[in-house]
Amino acid sequence: MGKESLRIHCSNGHLGFAPTKEESFWIGAKTMPDYYCCDSGSDDIGPVPLGADKCASHPAHQMHDLELMLLASREQGVPMIIGSAGDTGTNSRVDMFVGFIREIAKKHKMKKFKLVYFYSEVDKEYLRKKMESGEVIEGLDSRSDLTIEELEKTDRIVAVAGVHPYIKALEMGADVIIGGRSSDACIFAAAAKHEGFPDDVAYYAGKVLECASFCAEPYAAKETVIGTITKDDVKVTAMSPYQRCTPASVAGHAMYERSNPYYEYVAGGMMDMRDCVYEQYDEKTCRITGARFIPIEGKIKVKLEGSGKVGERYLGMAGVRDPYTIKHIDEVIQWAKDQVKERFEGQEYQLSYRIFGKNGVMGDLEPVKEIRSHELLIVVEGVAPTKEVAEEVTLIGTRQIFYARLPEVKGTAGTAAFILDEVVEVSPAYQWTMNHVVAVDDPLELFPIHEIEIGE
């Protein structure tokens, strides 16, 4: 291990999803970190961006965040690592980020540097051949093993990279790395492992740093934190003037999102946090010891994410303020559904309602004994194989809220609904088709690596 400590700068828990806060970014940059790392993707955004091969984040925000990182890292001569490029890590999103780096380098007339990038899309035929040869593609999180039918419904698949392609890129002398879909923690762990730090601290640092200022208090997003790693501990420091990392904020972040808060599965193993000790190191820093990384024995398995198109989609909106209509809103929604069913009996479509304001909560048709809200917003979603059917399904499903037949209503005296004049076409509907793992002989086989030179 060449370094006694390693400092990693993380400015955004999802690069480009909302712009990085510049004040804390530059405060962190002045500490002269060894690496600038950011995760740029998530499956929290749902299956649409992956299936449609587009971004959920605005390109101006992505460019803004990449520019900050590239300027600081190139000025200081340290590596910059981005994972899950463009929200989904598909090949086109990786290429887009590589193009952004080219633009930024040209804009600032940067000296030549080496950019290494890797892809993570998986061809359906690759999986089909494995399945036809008898190999099982195991399901995760209670999903059944992958079937040919599910594979056929899938439009796009990405493999989730571990530390291996990042370490390989660093061994190649990369100044900037743009990665396809990746494990959030592994983007950071790769830098620590490359520098010779133990897996225990490397993977824990990745877990706690990947969401940036979510591990600090008071809660705030898009602010910079610095992780300092030694062979024995991890220290996390908030860079924002109004935030601090405390035992409560860091432990709370480390243990969120899981039914068992003490374990975190990452590519190639599992973090065991049962023996973690959290201490206030200084006013803005929390020190963590006791984390353990447990490798998974046996053949290497890589997670797969797949998305498939369900149909075209439209949205409508209606508001209700009449107390009697609100009291009978379940009957109103059922009336509207029945009218759509009558019109499209036997045809393929989906119609759903989301009711906002039902005692301050969002619901569908769950029973509520007494609705205390004075106003409801109803969002109507129609999905069908064609735009024409999806539009009409949504239109009828929305307008019939106004026409619902309710007892005790004389004429129009008791109804009070406002309807959006037109329903709106939105992105097609997609669904997750794959949350599985595939066994591989080489951890790099699904992640082809490329290198280029950028700059003047």
Compute the distance between CA of residue 5 and CA of residue 195 in angstroms, rounded to an integer.
Answer: 9
pLDDT, one tens digit per residue, over 163-191 is 999 999 999 999 999 999 999 999 999 99
Task: Tokens for 393, please give them.
Answer: 């399904």
Q: What angle do CA 55, 58, 60 make, to 5 degrees?
A: 130
Q: Evaluate if residue 266 carries a pLDDT over 80.
A: no
Q: Evaluate if residue 1 carries a pLDDT over 60.
A: no
Compute the distance between CA of residue 107 and CA of residue 116 in angstroms, rounded to an integer.
Answer: 20
Average pLDDT of every residue of the chain: 92
Spell out the domain ranges in the chain.
6-120+160-299+441-454, 309-432
Q: Which residues contact 367 (CB under 8 A, 6 or more apart)?
A: 330
In contact, 182 and 89? CB cutoff 8 Å: yes
In contact, 317 and 398? CB cutoff 8 Å: yes
pLDDT, one tens digit per residue, over 85-121 is 999 999 999 999 999 999 999 999 999 999 999 999 9
Count CA atoms within 13 Å of residue 377 on its CB side: 10
Compute the distance between CA of residue 363 and CA of residue 340 in angstroms, rounded to an integer.
Answer: 20
Q: Evaluate if residue 285 carries a pLDDT over 70.
A: yes
Compute the distance between CA of residue 179 and CA of residue 86 in angstroms, rounded to an integer.
Answer: 10
Q: Evaluate if residue 370 carries a pLDDT over 80.
A: no
Other beta carbons less than 10 A from residue 204's beta carbon? 32
Compute the distance between CA of residue 153 and CA of residue 431 in angstroms, rounded to an integer.
Answer: 9
In contact, 90 and 156? CB cutoff 8 Å: yes
Task: Tokens for 318, please give them.
Answer: 């209606």
SS3 label, residue 418: strand
Fold of 309-432: Alpha-Beta Plaits (3.30.70)
Tell me what pLDDT residue 41 has. Answer: 95
- H helices within 6-90, ranges in order? 22-29, 48-52, 59-76
- CA nearest 235: which of 201, 193, 286? 286
Tell me what pLDDT residue 417 has. Answer: 61
Tell me what pLDDT residue 198 has. Answer: 96
SS3 label, residue 132: helix
Q: Which residues contact 282 (CB under 8 A, 6 or more apart)?
A: 237
* Location of structure tokens 């045809």: 347
In contact, 160 and 83? CB cutoff 8 Å: no
Tell me what pLDDT residue 456 has. Answer: 87
Compute the distance between CA of residue 358 and CA of residue 370 in angstroms, rounded to an integer.
Answer: 9
Count CA atoms within 13 Å of residue 59 on its CB side: 9
- H helices within 14-57, ranges in order? 22-29, 48-52
Compute the distance between CA of residue 91 and CA of residue 81 in angstroms, rounded to an integer.
Answer: 17
pLDDT, one tens digit per residue, over 291-315 is 999 888 878 899 999 999 999 999 9
Compute the distance between CA of residue 155 and CA of residue 138 in angstroms, rounded to an integer.
Answer: 19
Q: Evaluate if residue 426 carries a pLDDT over 60.
A: yes
* pTM of the entire predicted model: 0.92
In contact, 189 and 206? CB cutoff 8 Å: yes
Compute the distance between CA of residue 272 and CA of residue 118 in angstroms, rounded to an integer.
Answer: 30
Tell me what pLDDT residue 261 has. Answer: 55
**Residue 234 pairs with which residues in a beta bridge?**
229, 288
Mean pLDDT of 157-167: 96
In contact, 18 and 122? CB cutoff 8 Å: no
Compute the distance between CA of residue 446 and CA of residue 427 in angstroms, rounded to an integer.
Answer: 29
